[in-house]
Structure 1
Amino acid sequence: MKESTPEIHKKDAKKSFSFALITISTSRYEKYGNPASPDDAEDLSGKVMKELIEAAGNRVSFYRLVPDEKDSLLDAIFFALESSADIVITSGGTGLAPKDLTIESIAPLFEKDIPGFGELFRYKSLEEIGTSVILTRASAGVIKGKAVFCLPGSPNAVKLALSKIIIPEAGHIVRHVRE
């Protein structure tokens, strides 16, 4: 049986990865400070990410909860990039509100954009939330040899992004980013 093109591209990819998770929420940060895990901060999106990542045979090597502030977010990103994580995922701050600073803070650091991620995420979200999908600025790029994904803060959004896009493509992404 002949392998399909996607199978050929993914054939030599590593199968297990380490993820860094950063949740951006001022209200949650003010209530919980700097917890060790999403469970310690009632971080539903963080918990969904952690569960999906671990259920797929990967591990979470870094977790941070930060307020919607550029300096705090950048500090967390730089720590995550220096960690053992293969992939960095942020959750929150991708909307249009004045306090939503994730994209303005992180996108200028991208050495390469991954525009297909945001496009595909919005396309797949259309079925769930309809035309409200235009309000998300979910995006991804490469910084210091690591893929960084900026997701909305809702549990449904992170579930969709991880289960339908990021986890299935993790090996392919990491391999290409490191070539």
Structure 2
Amino acid sequence: MKEPTPEIHKKDAKKSFSFALITISTSRYEKYGNPSFPYEAEDLSGRAMKELLEAASNNVSFYRLVPDGKDEILDALFAALDSSADIVVTSGGTGLAPKDLTIESVAPLFEKEIPGFGELFRFKSLEEIGTSVILTRASAGVIKGKAVFCLPGSPNAVKLALSKIIIPEAGHIVRHVRE
């Protein structure tokens, strides 16, 4: 028997989803507090995510800007997981600086890791930023039946991750997470 093609495997997947976006940036948080939308905080990455998702017929149902702190990241993450969002995307805090705590905060909660996401993201980023791609710890996993993606904070990084990986695979991922 022939293996199903990726197109057949994805054909019954839902096409539009609700996303929760969390931007992690102490400097932006100190300047803008807790805005309702990315454009209120000059959050270029948050704005890029929102625009890409909505252009692909998805909905952004949750947005939060938080400082680089484990408690703040986890509070926002738990609120996003309790929201109506199908998928949670964080931006920022995935580097190697001492203040970069996103991965330390989120990854221990992964019930299942999605290692292929980080690997593919770094592979696709290689063309854009060269070998400095090794500085990102972008990752993904499943928490409470929802896919959670942890992205770097740069607008180019979120554009690449969403347009080339997350949006094209959203239906496939959500279907498998919910099975």
Equivalent positions of 1:76-155 (< 5 A) are: 76-155=76-155
Q: Which residue of 1 aligns with 2:64?
A: 64
| Alpha-carbon distance in structure 2 between the residues aligned to 1:105 and 1:9 | 33
| Alpha-carbon distance in structure 2 between the residues aligned to 1:137 and 1:121 | 10
Q: Structure 2: any 5+ residue segments left out of the alignment?
A: none
**Which residue type is aligned with residue 164 of structure 1?**
K
| Alpha-carbon distance in structure 2 between the residues aligned to 1:9 and 1:62 | 29
Q: Partner of 1:89: helix, strand, or coil? A: strand
Q: Which residue of 2 aligns with 1:41?
A: 41
Provide TM-score, normalisation by structure 2: 0.98
Q: Which residue of 2 aligns with 1:6?
A: 6
Q: Structure 1: any 5+ residue segments left out of the alignment?
A: none
Q: Which residue of 2 aligns with 1:157?
A: 157
1:9 CA displacement: 1.0
1:53 CA displacement: 0.1
| Alpha-carbon distance in structure 2 between the residues aligned to 1:125 and 1:84 | 31
CA displacement, residues 107-155 of structure 1 (integer Å, 9 cap, x when unaligned):
0000000000000000000000000000000000000000000000000
Provide TM-score, normalisation by structure 1: 0.98
**Aligned residues with identical type, % of pairs:** 89
Q: Partner of 1:99: helix, strand, or coil? A: coil
Structure 2 residue 45 is the aligned partner of structure 1 residue 22: no
RMSD: 0.9
Give structure 1 regions of 4+ aligned residues with deviation exceeding 2 angstroms: none
| Alpha-carbon distance in structure 2 between the residues aligned to 1:7 and 1:93 | 34
| Alpha-carbon distance in structure 2 between the residues aligned to 1:99 and 1:85 | 27
| Alpha-carbon distance in structure 2 between the residues aligned to 1:37 and 1:9 | 35
Q: Which residue of 1 aligns with 2:172?
A: 172
**Which residue type is aligned with residue 33 of structure 1?**
G
